[in-house]
Amino acid sequence: MNAWWQIGWQWWLGLLLSLGCLGLTVALWRQLRMAAATNAQLLTRMDLFEDQLTALRRELAGLSDASQPQPEAAEPAETAYAQAIRLAKQGMDSSAVAAGCGISRGEAELIVALYRASQRP
């Protein structure tokens, strides 16, 4: 009877260990399925981020192209002296020409004097 008890005890222990292994296998299989689902979600998000990055790169390239000066559209800015000459031709006095153009009072007086002299008959 002692032999039967040892065989029975070993059989129950084997059965218990087998069930434990089966439980661990099921738990690992569930974790593997969850990891695969998480991996699929991450791949989807990564594809979305790649699309957004591509769109941002295109937009940035468009902005950098737009910020480049266009030679055919750019008009030369009027210099301070050209503006002073225009104001002198309109009849403004030297103090107004100097203040409006950012040139010295002496330069403005010279320009006003030259253009007043050239307009006299």
Residues 47-98 pLDDT 10s = 888 888 888 888 888 887 666 665 555 556 788 888 888 888 888 888 888 9
pLDDT band at 5 (very low <50, low <70, confident <90, very high): low
Contact of 94 with 114, CB cutoff 8 Å:
no
pLDDT exceeds cutoff 70 at 103: yes
User: What one-letter code names the amino acid at 16?
Assistant: L
CB 93 within 8 A of CB 105: no
Find all residues with CB under 8 Å of 89, minimum gap 6, and list them: 115, 119
Is there a contact between 100 and 87 (Cβ–Cβ < 8 Å)? yes
Would you say the pTM of this structure is higher than 0.85?
no
Whether 82 and 101 have beta carbons less than 8 Å apart is answered as no
